[in-house]
């Protein structure tokens, strides 16, 4: 069974994304700040690349937490990730 992990640690998030060939991005035309995404290089016209500093500024300003999975249930490297609120309660 695969498990998900939550973190707000910038270094841990950046390492996870870069180990999988990902880059920080946001949804185009999503207004001030933006909606964060991880771009793994598949063609997706709705995304625009952003710098790591901008990525983490938006991440912290919106009090987000990064939910991710290291491996799939079959043991392969997982790219599952999601941005969730730190204030779930």
CA 69 to chain CA mean position, Å: 11
Domain boundaries of the chain, sorted by first residue: 4-85
Give the whole-angstrom CA distance, residue 41 versus residue 49: 10
pLDDT (0 to 100) of residue 42: 79
- Dump pLDDT digits (tens) for 10-44: 999 999 999 999 999 999 876 666 799 999 987 78
Sign for the pseudo-dihedral over CA of 33, 37, 42, 43: negative
CA 29 to chain centre: 18
What single-letter DSSP state applies at residue 16?
H
pLDDT of the residue at 16: 97
């Amino acid at each position: 069974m695969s498990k998900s992990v939550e973190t707000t640690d910038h270094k841990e998030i950046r390492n996870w994304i870069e180990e999988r060939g990902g880059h920080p991005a946001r949804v185009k035309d999503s207004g001030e700040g933006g909606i964060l995404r991880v771009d793994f290089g598949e063609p997706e016209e709705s995304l625009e690349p952003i710098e790591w500093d901008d990525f983490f500024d938006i991440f912290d300003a919106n009090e987000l937490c990064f939910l991710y999975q290291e491996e799939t249930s079959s043991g392969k490297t997982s790219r599952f990730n999601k941005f969730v609120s730190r204030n779930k309660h």
